[in-house]
Amino acid sequence: MGIGIESSCDETSIALVEAGKKLLSLKIYSQIENHAPYRGVVPELASRSHLEKINLLLEECLIEADVDWKDIAYIAVTTHPGLMGSLMIGAQLARCISLVHSIPIVPVNHLEAHLAVVSLEEEIPSFPWLGVLLSGGNSSIYRYSDWGNLQLIGDTMDDALGEAFDKVSALLDLPYPGGPVVEKEARKFFDRTDKPKGSLFPRLLKESTYDKIEFSFSGLKTAVLYHVRGKPKEDLDIPRICHDFQKTAFELVTRNISKAVKNTGIGTVVCAGGVLANSILREELEMVAKRQDWTLLYPSKKILCTDNGAMIANLGFYLWQKGFTAPLNFKVSPKRSFSQTI
Ligand code: AMP
Ligand code: MG
């Protein structure tokens, strides 16, 4: 079995996973309340909170799973991308455990771990996959050829999708993070009998050339801004705005996935990241996958969509099996693309 340590952003998490399959214990401390007053993650507050919580979570995890150090074969730790100060807290814990108990360290790419976590829940089709990552910091599509082997084939030109949810929520004077509350408001619109026809916002990137796979959400965010600017809150149809915002954004997501399937001929699509907690997006993706006959996978448990140590321990297992271990002086990096050269 292996330990997974996650501290790249605003969740501190430790997990124990057996053979990349069985989740023995998972502890997560979410810092949302620390950052909510600022409507975004404050790096210094994040590092301090990781430092305060991480040892406690490790202890709780070990007690819950009732395991002995001698049973632990590897320590998987997020090394990139993320906030430097935060990554260093997890890295230092991994170094300590490794030094004291002589257990090898497996450096893990946080973004790959988000995609790989589906293997914890079900039997997975063989590689290659298309990996679609929709989170607070990413809207990207990867060709995922093997454990530790991904190439970026589509990316955002500006905002990430989760970030757009957070900004739209702020424009509507709704809480942070925006995703869950925007989804809840959009649901209210679904239940109406007197729905107005048409969308408040234009279709995204409708002129984009066939082969290019790109996301852009800043125009949609600006369209929401122009729609609400100068209007008193009581004059705004918040459920309709949330619904039309989501619908417009999700249409670009499904269009880009369909393009990627067509361009690459890869029929297995793995979706992950915080935005996948959105049930309306899940339903939309299910519908398109069925219609266009590709295999769709995403973490069924919403807790596995947001940042967690289980995904780190899970991918760590496959990387450890392939011999991807690192010495104690391994590095961490804020970069998405980074390989250990020490
Ligand atoms: P992550 O970056 O993977 O930790 O995910 C956090 C991002 O996911 C934030 O930007 C949230 O607003 C977004 N998010 C969380 N839940 C939902 C949801 N139900 N719908 C849309 N976005 C969501
Ligand atoms: Mg997070």
* Residue pLDDT, tens place only, 50-69: 999 999 999 999 999 999 99
Q: Evaluate: CB of 246 within 6 angstroms of ligand 1.
A: no
If one residue of 29, 114, 139, 275 were mutated to test the ligand 1 pocket, choosing by the most ligand atoms within 8 A of its CB, it would be 275
Q: Which atom of ligand 1 is nearest to the CA of 162?
A: 10
Q: Evaluate: CB of 107 within 6 angstroms of ligand 1.
A: no
Give the pLDDT score at 5. 98
Give the pLDDT score at 195. 86
Q: Which atom of ligand 1 is nearest to the CA of 177?
A: 12
CA angle 280, 36, 245 (to 5 degrees): 30
- Which has the closest alpha carbon to 143: 253, 255, 251, 257? 257
Contact 251, 195 (CB under 8 A): no
Contacting residues for 135 by C-beta, under 8 A, at least 6 apart: 114, 160, 161, 162, 272, 273, 274, 275
Q: How far is the CA of 215 from the centre of ligand 1 (A)?
A: 17
Q: How far is the CA of 94 from the centre of ligand 2 (A)?
A: 20
Q: How far is the CA of 135 from the centre of ligand 1 (A)?
A: 6
* Tens digit of each residue's pLDDT, the chain (342 residues): 999 999 999 999 999 999 888 999 999 999 999 999 999 999 999 999 999 999 999 999 999 999 999 999 999 999 999 999 999 999 999 999 999 999 999 999 999 999 999 999 988 889 999 999 999 999 999 999 999 999 999 999 999 999 999 999 999 999 999 999 999 999 999 888 888 889 999 999 887 767 789 999 999 999 999 999 999 989 999 999 999 999 999 999 999 999 999 999 999 999 999 999 999 999 999 999 999 999 999 999 989 998 999 999 999 999 999 999 999 999 999 998 877 654
Annotated binding site: 110, 114, 133-137, 166, 179, 183, 278, 307
Contact 272, 281 (CB under 8 A): no
Annotated binding site for substrate: 133-137, 166, 179, 183, 278
Query: Is the pTM of the predicted complex or chain greater than 0.85?
Result: yes
Q: Evaluate: CB of 81 within 6 angstroms of ligand 1.
A: no
Three-state DSSP class for residue 105: strand
Give the pLDDT score at 308. 97
Give the pLDDT score at 105. 98
Three-state DSSP class for residue 110: helix
Residue position matching structure tokens 């369909």? 258
Topology match between the domains 2-116+304-321 and 126-298:
yes
| CATH fold label, 126-298 | Nucleotidyltransferase; domain 5 (3.30.420)
Measured from the alpha carbon of residue 277, the closest ligand is: 1
User: Which residue ranges make up each domain of the chain?
Assistant: 2-116+304-321, 126-298
Q: Which atom of ligand 1 is nearest to the CA of 176?
A: 12
Give the pLDDT score at 341. 55
Across the beta sheet with 22-30, the strand order is 22-30, 11-18, 2-6, 74-80, 105-109
Residue position matching structure tokens 């679904």? 190
Q: How far is the CA of 178 from the centre of ligand 1 (A)?
A: 7
- Which has the closest alpha carbon to 5: 333, 310, 299? 310
Contacting residues for 11 by C-beta, under 8 A, at least 6 apart: 28, 29, 30, 31, 306, 307, 308
Ligand 1, atom 2, lies closest to the CA of 136
Superfamily of domain 2-116+304-321 in the CATH hierarchy: ATPase, nucleotide binding domain (3.30.420.40)
For residue 271, the cross-strand partners are 132
Q: Evaluate: CB of 10 within 6 angstroms of ligand 1.
A: no
Q: How far is the CA of 290 from the centre of ligand 1 (A)?
A: 25
Annotated binding site for Fe cation: 110, 114, 307
Contact 72, 26 (CB under 8 A): no
Q: Evaluate: CB of 20 within 6 angstroms of ligand 1.
A: no
